[in-house]
Amino acid sequence: MSMLYLTPSIRLRRTPFSNRVDSAGAKAYTIYNHMRLASYYETPEEDYRHLKTAVQVWDVSCERQVEIKGPDALRLVQMTTPRDMSRMQDDQCYYVPMVDSAGKMMNDPVAVRLGQDRYWLSLADSDMLLYCKGLAAGSGLDVEVFEPDVSPLAIQGPKADELVCRVFGEEIIRTRFFRHKTINFQGQDMIIARSGWSHQGGFELYLDGSGYGEAVWDALFEAGKDLDVRAGCPNLIERIEAGLLSFGSDITMDHTPFEAGLGKYCHLDSATGFLGRKALLDLQEPAKQIRALALAGPAVPAINHPWPLHDSTGNIAGCISSSTWSPDFDTNVTIAMVKREHWGGGTVLTAKVPDGDRSAIVRDKFWI
Amino acid sequence: MSMLYLTPSIRLRRTPFSNRVDSAGAKAYTIYNHMRLASYYETPEEDYRHLKTAVQVWDVSCERQVEIKGPDALRLVQMTTPRDMSRMQDDQCYYVPMVDSAGKMMNDPVAVRLGQDRYWLSLADSDMLLYCKGLAAGSGLDVEVFEPDVSPLAIQGPKADELVCRVFGEEIIRTRFFRHKTINFQGQDMIIARSGWSHQGGFELYLDGSGYGEAVWDALFEAGKDLDVRAGCPNLIERIEAGLLSFGSDITMDHTPFEAGLGKYCHLDSATGFLGRKALLDLQEPAKQIRALALAGPAVPAINHPWPLHDSTGNIAGCISSSTWSPDFDTNVTIAMVKREHWGGGTVLTAKVPDGDRSAIVRDKFWI
């Protein structure tokens, strides 16, 4: 992989787990919400194989939280998203596309409901804290908006339940998908949810108080020795196979939720208070949309700018945003924004990869 | 310097000049507003010497623009800043601390007035685009808020005037400090201002249209051969000497503009419409403030977490955010947030640098 050097600075924030991540041997990083995020430990392929067979602990502190608290908390959250929040329970997590007044995506966090008047947004890579602050200031709603000292730690993989059971108790592994419970660690209550940015199952612990970070990490590694617990991170191969979209890569502020394939989260039939409703009503039939593609040939190079897709006459048919070699599916698993006339399953396009043209087949769905 | 590897991805955006920056031999990068920014080319010391004697071209595309356009543009900008914007001229640039309703810093951009109803904010490292969008949506102001395809290119150093004169004409070098004029490049009008994030003088060209990027770059390098023009970037040593504060390092969302030493930009005597006025009225006498410090001993290591400052009894006296060796001033030039009881010039403190304690002397002002 063609790598760049990253100059350290305070602006690129360390996390409560950074000492442990460094010791565990993270080999490369990305920057996400002004914060470090490891991108692999052994190789992306070895991390992937381990993630699918054992259990990993991921420092995803960079999923920063926006806390919205006060009598108008629900009203403010609902203004930002087409998803109907009205029936959300106090122990629920919702995946929520966040959309501006013009119908364009700003973020796609997981919203965590902590009570009638209190929500966290567990962010993708943009400062939604600032949007929420601006919206609160402009609208005069009765809410506090701030970033709490909360840093998610994911426990992912087929043995995640066993590890969580050992450390946090059997009650916790009865948590349903996208529901949360509370654990107590050294006297401190913390939220733990069955969620995470992989398809392998597991939990996200919302570390509440940076000071507990290394002790929580150490407790998990101590208890999981015989499970071969390792440090890990969101894995490029596994997340493309599973169709987990990366905001900033696959979805940007140029896209609507319909283009992003998130139409099922858009409840536009009733006036919930969502500010982008009027704009989205006119955008429900997108001219392009996210698709899974299989790219022929050997492993593609690392992608750092969009690769064009051409049709058989050489016209632009779309644009690839994520692509990498999948050992399990024996192809280059790929995410692209594809024009309507080309997005049907089985359509064959040409991908303009830097090392040459590749045949690309549009799929009906992702791999897993 | 202890370096990390950065994994390439589309989310870490390339710029209109990235091909040229790579070819020019940038050795390391940082990520700023989700975008690449070179951090040095030869070594920080060699870049520094060259910046102080010749002329450099800097890809500072990462200073993303927020365009605010419409009848309420001035009103919206004024809501975000304690600086009185009412007398700003159409050819002026203002350094504007941007402050939330609680009086805390969110960004410190250069605002560029393009007309009565049109402003750009040339951003430091946070998504003020989202704050402005939220504020516009919440307040119902009649404005458009968007990121235009505009990427600043800085021309800095003692020979910047000569280079700009050759490429853009003599009229341009008569531009006063923090004023702007318009040049025409290959038929495209672009703003050029006498400004830049160094103390060496020069200009910032607001590249208007990514497609012109490489042609503008090449024109500058072609015309500047005998001036020893080189690719450069904001230089850590030079900017600390000059007291140029880095948002995210020296100033964060935890700080007020008074703590950041930006009190002179706070016009709280009249009700301009600035939303944080009430909060700031109570925060005018800060308990800690930005100071320049000289750290004794040899060159300090690279800083990636705040270094504590202790007083003679071992109590916390403040916190260092930036520090590096200055060849010209023969000391470690340093920026710190220092408690009131210790911030007087000449006060001697102890800096807890990772490789050992250092004597630190508080200065009355920065070096240049």
B187 pLDDT higher than 60: yes
The count of domains in chain A is 3
Is residue B10 assigned to a domain? no
Instruction: Kindly state whether residues B40 and B163 are assigned to the same domain.
Output: yes
Instruction: Kindly state whether residues B179 and B53 are assigned to the same domain.
Output: yes
Is residue A176 assigned to a domain? yes
A42 pLDDT higher than 60: yes
B25 pLDDT higher than 90: yes
Is residue A260 assigned to a domain? no
Give the span between the Cα atoms of B15 and B37, in whole angstroms.
Answer: 9
Give the span between the Cα atoms of A128 and A112, in whole angstroms.
Answer: 15
Please, are residues B199 and B241 in contact by the beta-carbon 8 Å criterion? yes
Interface touch A7/B14, C-beta < 8 Å: no
B178: CATH: 3.30.1360.120
Instruction: Kindly state whether residues A88 and A154 are assigned to the same domain.
Output: no
To the nearest whole Å, the CA of B2 is away from the closest chain A CA by: 7
Q: What is the pLDDT of residues B69-122, one digit of tens each?
A: 999 999 999 999 999 999 999 999 999 999 999 999 999 999 999 999 999 999
Is residue A10 assigned to a domain? no
Please, are residues B336 and B342 in contact by the beta-carbon 8 Å criterion? no
Phi, psi (deg, nearest 5) at residue B45: -70, -45
Instruction: Kindly state whether residues B35 and B153 are assigned to the same domain.
Output: yes
In this structure, the number of other CB atoms found within 10 A of the CB of residue B27 comes to 16
B140: CATH: 3.30.70.1400
Is residue A119 assigned to a domain? yes
Q: Which of B182, B205, B240 is the last residue of a domain?
A: B240
Q: What is the pLDDT of residues A153-189, one digit of tens each?
A: 999 999 999 999 999 999 999 999 999 999 999 999 9
A15, A36, A132, A133: which to substitute to probe chain B, counting the most B Cβ within 10 Å?
A133
The boundaries of the domain holding residue A307 are 287-368
Q: Search chain A and give the residue with CA nearest B323.
A: A9
To the nearest whole Å, the CA of A59 is away from the closest chain B CA by: 16
Residues of B in Cβ contact (< 8 Å) with A304: 8-10, 12, 14
Q: Which of B146, B168, B192 is the last residue of a domain?
A: B146
Element (H, E) at B237: helix B236-241
Reference B215, options B188, B240, B180; nearest CA is B188
Instruction: Kindly state whether residues B226 and B156 are assigned to the same domain.
Output: yes
HSE (side-chain half, CA atoms, 13 Å) at A128 = 33
Of A4, A10, A246, the CB nearest to B8: A4
Interface A-B: count of C-beta contacts within 8 A: 192
Instruction: Kindly state whether residues A128 and A158 are assigned to the same domain.
Output: no
Is residue B24 assigned to a domain? yes
Residues of B in Cβ contact (< 8 Å) with A6: 3-6, 28-31
Instruction: Kindly state whether residues B139 and B175 are assigned to the same domain.
Output: no
B312: CATH: 2.40.30.110
Would you state the pLDDT for residue B232? 98
Give the span between the Cα atoms of B18 and B24, in whole angstroms.
Answer: 10
Average per-residue pLDDT for chain A: 97
The pLDDT of A300-317, averaged and rounded, is 96
Instruction: Kindly state whether residues A137 and A153 are assigned to the same domain.
Output: no
Q: Which of A146, A170, A200 is the last residue of a domain?
A: A146
The answer, yes or no, to whether ipTM is higher than 0.90 is: yes
Q: Residue B315, class by beta-carbon neighbours within 10 Å (0-12 exposed, 13-18 middle, 19+ buried)?
A: exposed
Instruction: Kindly state whether residues A32 and A173 are assigned to the same domain.
Output: yes
Instruction: Kindly state whether residues A26 and A157 are assigned to the same domain.
Output: yes
Residues of A in Cβ contact (< 8 Å) with B246: 9, 11
In sequence order, what are the beta bridge partners of A318?
Answer: A309, A338
Q: Search chain A and give the residue with CA nearest B276.
A: A137
To the nearest whole Å, the CA of B164 is away from the closest chain A CA by: 30
Is residue B222 assigned to a domain? yes
CA max distance for chain B = 66
Average per-residue pLDDT for chain B: 97
In chain A, where does DSSP find H-type helix? 18-24, 44-51, 73-80, 128-139, 160-168, 170-173, 213-223, 236-241, 277-281
Instruction: Kindly state whether residues B211 and B236 are assigned to the same domain.
Output: yes
Q: What are the C-alpha distances in Å from A171 to residues A113, A208, B154, B175?
A: 20, 20, 59, 70
Q: What is the pLDDT of residues B45-64, one digit of tens each?
A: 999 999 999 999 999 999 99
Q: Search chain B and give the residue with CA nearest A136.
A: B138
Q: What is the pLDDT of residues B281-334, one digit of tens each?
A: 999 999 999 999 999 999 999 999 999 999 999 999 999 999 999 999 999 999
Instruction: Kindly state whether residues B43 and B84 are assigned to the same domain.
Output: no
Is residue B300 assigned to a domain? yes
B1 pLDDT higher than 60: no
A362 contacts: CB under 8 Å, gap ≥ 6: A291, A292, A293, A338, A342, A343, A344, A345, A346, A347, A348, A349
Beta strands B316-326 and A150-156: pairing type?
unpaired
